[in-house]
Structure 1
Amino acid sequence: MPDGDASPAVYRYSRAARIPHLVMALALWAAGILTISLYVSAAVWITVVLALPLLPGLWDLWRNPTAVLALDNEGLSWRNATSGSTDIPLGRISHIRLDRRWDFSHRATVHTDNGKRLRIPPDCLPPHQGFEQALSAAGLRVERHHFQIF
Structure 2
Amino acid sequence: MAEPFTFTRQGRSRRTLSVLILVYAGLIGLIVAVDAAWWVMGLLALLTLPALGDLYRNPSAGVRLDDNQLDWHSGRRKGTLDLAEIDHMRFDTRWDFSVRVSAMLTGEKRVHLPFECVPPHRDLEAAFQTRDIPVKRTHFSFF
TM-score between the two structures when normalised by the length of structure 2: 0.89
1:35 counterpart letter in structure 2 = G
1:93 and 1:110 in contact (8 A); partners too: yes
User: Over alpha carbons, which structure has the higher Rg?
Assistant: 1
1:12 and 1:69 in contact (8 A); partners too: yes
Q: Percent identity over the alignment?
A: 36
1:120 counterpart letter in structure 2 = L
Establish whether residue 118 from structure 1 lines up as the match of residue 103 from structure 2: no
Q: Distance in 2 between matches of 1:43 and 1:149?
A: 39
Q: Distance in 2 between matches of 1:42 and 1:140?
A: 55
Structure 1 residue 81: Cα displacement: 1.2
Matched pairs, number: 143
Task: Using the TM superposition, name which of 33-42 and 84-93 deviates more.
Answer: 33-42
Mark the runs of 5 or more structure 2 residues left unpaired by the alignment. Answer: none
Q: Distance in 1 between matches of 2:44 and 2:126?
A: 44
Establish whether residue 102 from structure 1 lines up as the match of residue 95 from structure 2: yes
1:128 pairs with one of 121, 130, 134: 121
1:108 and 1:125 in contact (8 A); partners too: yes
1:132 counterpart letter in structure 2 = E
2:46 counterpart letter in structure 1 = L
1:60 counterpart letter in structure 2 = D
Q: Distance in 1 between matches of 2:15 and 2:3?
A: 29
1:13 counterpart letter in structure 2 = F
Match of 1:5? none
Q: Distance in 2 between matches of 1:108 and 1:47?
A: 36
Q: Distance in 1 between matches of 2:106 and 2:34?
A: 61
Is the partner of 1:36 in helix, strand or coil?
Answer: helix
Q: Distance in 2 between matches of 1:81 and 1:72?
A: 21
Alpha carbon RMSD of aligned pairs, Å? 1.9
Q: Deviations over 1:21-61 (max 9, x none)?
A: 21121011100111122233344422321221121111111
Is the partner of 2:123 in helix, strand or coil?
Answer: helix
Match of 2:50? 56
Q: Deviations over 1:70-116 (max 9, x none)?
A: 1012201110015x100001111111111222221111110111111
